[in-house]
A and B are shown apart, each in its own frame.
Chain A
Amino acid sequence: MTDTQTPLLSLRHLSISLPKGADRALAVEDVSYDVFRGEILCVVGESGSGKSMAANAVMGLLPKGVYASGGEAIFDDQDLLKLSEHQHRTLRGLRIGMIFQEPMTALNPLMRVGDQIAEVFEAHGQLSGRERQQQALALLTEVGIPQPDKAIRAYPFQLSGGQRQRVMIAMALALEPELLIADEPTTALDVTTQAQILELIRDLQRRRGMAVMFITHDFGVVAEVANRVCVMRHGKIVELGEADEVLKHPRHDYTRALIEAIPSNVIPEARGAETDTALLEVKGLSKVFRSKGGLFKSAREVHALQDVSFSLVKGETIGIVGESGSGKSTLGRCVVRLERPDSGTLSLSGTDFMHLQGESLRRERHRVQMIFQDPYASLNPRHRVGYAIAQGPMANGMSKAQAFAKAKELLALVGLGGTDDRYPHEFSGGQRQRIGIARALAMEPELIVADEAVSALDVSIQAQILELLEELKQKLSLSLLFITHDLRVAAQICDRIIVMQHGRIVEQGPAREVFLAPREVYTRELLDAIPGREHELADA
């Protein structure tokens, strides 16, 4: 695929400086790589590796205070780093297109989708108003949006995440750029949606013969799309080569570690809980949300949960897997009583947990605790972490001194000893998630509900947190309800797996069985959509 002619984009000894006071001086240090016409180059790395910075420099979109301090970025015989803002602006959108990670926030919420696409033509003075709308419609059709004639008049909030990402792609491709930069375009999407979007990008790339610079942290995605791979760590290139070569025979330890951290082809071991005393019993749980109508949907009721029944025995980890909108989070919220189910029963080692009210609920609440998805939003930024952890026990009558001592102990337990007087912003994402775990443990729960607890983390951090959870579970004989959209994560930690779709349980069974012999079509679809699955990755 890679041709030997001159590269379309050539980074030569590129260095990018961070503002003073950052954790390191250079975001990117002496980085050189080429992107050729007609190929997909994947730039892989964890957060903080500087993988996006080079792309932003190419686009002329570096954040304030960050600047290219050395080297050059040659695009079609001109050094992009030396362009004036005006010259750079005329390239953006026209010859270099870019799509971003967050489909939820990357579109202007107040503008119709069609107008946002038409803007690209307007920015470069092309076509008349009417032609722009026609082109927008053609583009929406090309990226496979259902009912493009309606979608063109829709506002972003009326579209799903996958549809918004398609709109982003339509926008980036509007002027047929020679280079497309895709910055983690599928990270925020469901597996099946991710598979579709990857397919779309690959397809468009082939059809148009574009060069694509695809930035990702996920080696599964790399296996799906890459022609060549560039692995980055701490702002430097660790490994650069043909995709097959890097995936099968990684030369660098770091690359190997990253690949190993993704157990796409790990088959869960057969395991079971030691006991058979039921801890949580859920029977016929239903919950309906009522919503007003929208453009694509008439006013309707959403059955978030429909007749959901399962039981969890002491010491067991159950994975609840499903895509967004499957009801898995609602289920978790019902179990911790943040949400009130409409019908059904919910009992915790025999006590009716669902109908507890007021003081009796307050007394029992500590038995089920939750760990949340976003480690940045789930800790109060104005509270020291020691206090954040001690708050729960104190609310349950423990003395202040005791509660703070306990918080210290728990922080040590999760590997953050001696940090109780710090504030959340002093910790990394993974560390914050450890604090979240310590906070949940402070209540001495019997059951922990972890709602996408590792989804926002880098793979290597993910692995560490999962290990910690596993270890704590053994040590404190906890039970775990592990909610995730990521089957790969579920495979690592769960004894049993429940697959949910549209508020119903589609399939449940021991993890190994669900993986090796899925009985339901939907489960099989989910498994097939996991990126990199059919590719043989390096033997772990």
Chain B
Amino acid sequence: MLYLRLITMRLLKAVVVLFMIIIFNFVLIQLAPGDPAAILAGEAGATDEEFLRQLRERFGLDQPMYVQLWRYVSGIAMLDFGFSYRQGVPVLDLILARLPATLLLTGTAFVLSLALGIVAGSLAAARVKKPSGSIIMTLALLFYATPLFWVALMSVVLFSVYLDLLPAYGMYTVGAGHTGLALVLDVGKHLILPATTLALFFMAIYTRMTRASMLEASQQDFVKTARAKGLKNSVIQRRHILRNALLPIITLAGLQAGQMVGGAILTETVFAWPGIGRLMFEALQQRDYNLLLGIFFFSAALVIVFNIITDLVYGLADPRIKEGS
């Protein structure tokens, strides 16, 4: 009813925003010097004007910009993202082939960081001014301050090289031909290092935020009411303080979730994880504009989707928001 109408409205708005993002990205990429044809020709060692002209004609690059834009946008409306100049394969196929790997990695990291961060933050809030609380916060600060790629490299050195516990790169053991449960276990084993690496940074942020937010919530009058009821401290922490401290955490979680497509480039590169991040990096180096635009589109769409989900979660977490929406 009211909720459904809200979602419909948000989706309509999302389409408009997405459309604007497409145009913006398209125009922005035109500003970069050199077009794909010049680069392809350059790599092929051909400087022949005629060859360049033919290439441009084949890709439609000889058309005025608005025509190119129109072709592009009308293509997207039918889920046609064009061909990768480089690989000669439809962009959509390339992206869909890589998407599951990235979502697996970032999704795992997301859940991991959120769960551990909230737990660690709650513990730190309950143990404020105690040594155990300080230890948690020091660790959080350490993870927060250490560059991601460094943690990644060092964990490879430690767990793969020295201890030989976990695989250093890739998503499966190449050539092992696992199926079923064995495949799941194999992928899981490969997932541990990259997912943890990616999770640490956000976990640190969630920890700090949960703690600060809970300490603030614990100053509220209703906490005193809860104590006056004779409730146990642990119940007060969980039911009254944590629940009221969740809103800023949801905001942050929404932001992190939006980064799930494009936010793992570094991790994917270090661990040779066959995901979107690496695809994007390669596309960028090779001026594979169609592919790059396609990835931009997906990543923007994901941000918008998670924005809507975040708003819905707000409504669940705080009845006052649902009322006001």
Contact = CB atoms under 8 A, between A and B. Distances in A.
A132 to B, nearest CB: 12
B229 A92 contact: yes
B227 to A, nearest CB: 6
A327 interface: no
A381 interface: no
Interface stretch (A96-104, A194-202, A489-497): A96-104
B43 interface: no
Contacts of A172: 228
B230 interface: yes
A111 B236 CA distance: 13
A168 B320 CA distance: 20
Interface string A149-175: 000000101100000000010011000
Nearest to A101: B221
Given A157-B323, A292-B324, A61 B229 contact: no
Given A110-B318, A294-B323, A171 B244 contact: no
B225 interface: yes
A168 B225 contact: yes
Interface string B228-245: 111110010001100110
Contacts of A503: none
B233 to A, nearest CB: 8
A94 interface: yes
A89 B226 CA distance: 11
Where chain B touches its partner, the secondary structure class is helix
B222 A105 contact: yes
B224 interface: yes
Contacts of A292: 2, 323-324
Interface string A122-148: 111000000000000000000000000
B230 A155 contact: no
A98 B243 CA distance: 23
A90 B224 contact: no
B222 A93 contact: no
A97 B225 contact: no
B164 to A, nearest CB: 49
B244 A108 contact: yes
Nearest to B229: A93
A105 B220 contact: yes
Contacts of A225: none
A123 B244 contact: no
A124 B230 contact: yes
Contacts of A157: 319-320, 323
A288 B224 CA distance: 38
A100 B229 CA distance: 12
A123 B324 contact: no
A105 B240 CA distance: 13
Contact of B319 (A61, A90, A120, A155): A155
A107 interface: yes
Contact of A123 (B224, B231, B319, B320): B231
Given A100-B225, A108-B240, A109-B318, A93 B323 contact: no
Contacts of B320: 109, 155, 157
Contacts of A294: 323
B317 interface: yes
Interface in A502-533: none
Contacts of A105: 220-222
A105 B229 CA distance: 16
Contacts of A123: 229-232, 235
B152 to A, nearest CB: 39
Contact of A100 (B224, B231, B239, B319): B224
B221 to A, nearest CB: 4
B319 A59 contact: no
Contact of A119 (B231, B243, B317): B231
B108 to A, nearest CB: 29
Given A157-B320, A157-B323, A106 B230 contact: no
A31 interface: no
Contacts of A90: 230
Contacts of A155: 319-320
A466 interface: no
A465 B221 CA distance: 29
Nearest to B325: A292
Contact of B229 (A109, A110, A171): A171
A172 to B, nearest CB: 8
A100 B221 CA distance: 9
B235 to A, nearest CB: 8
A91 interface: yes
Nearest to A104: B221
A112 B190 CA distance: 45
Contact of A109 (B222, B227, B235, B324): B222
Nearest to A102: B221
A90 B243 CA distance: 24
Contact of B317 (A97, A110, A158): A110
A171 B227 CA distance: 12
Contacts of A91: 230
A114 to B, nearest CB: 14
B317 to A, nearest CB: 7
Interface string B88-100: 0000000000000
Contact of A92 (B230, B235, B240, B319): B230
Interface string B311-323: 0000001111001
A213 to B, nearest CB: 13
Contacts of B318: 109-110
Nearest to A155: B319
Contacts of B221: 100, 102, 105-106
Contact of A61 (B224, B231, B235, B324): B224
A59 B228 CA distance: 7
Contact of A97 (B2, B228, B319): B228
A61 B323 contact: no
Contacts of B228: 59, 61, 92-93, 97-98, 100, 172
Contacts of A119: 226, 229, 231, 239
Contacts of B319: 109-110, 155, 157
Given A157-B319, A292-B324, A61 B227 contact: yes
Contacts of A110: 243-244, 317-319
A246 B279 CA distance: 84
Given A110-B244, A155-B320, A292-B324, A171 B230 contact: no
Contacts of A111: 239-240, 243
B244 A109 contact: yes
A169 to B, nearest CB: 12
A89 B232 contact: yes
9 contacts: A89-B232, A100-B221, A106-B225, A108-B244, A109-B318, A109-B319, A110-B318, A110-B319, A294-B323
Given A93-B229, A109-B320, A110-B317, 20 more contacts: A90-B230, A91-B230, A94-B230, A98-B228, A100-B228, A102-B221, A106-B225, A108-B239, A108-B244, A109-B319, A110-B319, A111-B239, A122-B231, A123-B229, A155-B320, A157-B319, A157-B320, A157-B323, A292-B2, A294-B323
When A and B form their complex, which 10 residue pairs have the shortest distance between CB atoms, in order from nearest?
A93-B230, A92-B230, A105-B221, A93-B229, A98-B228, A108-B222, A123-B231, A123-B230, A106-B221, A155-B319
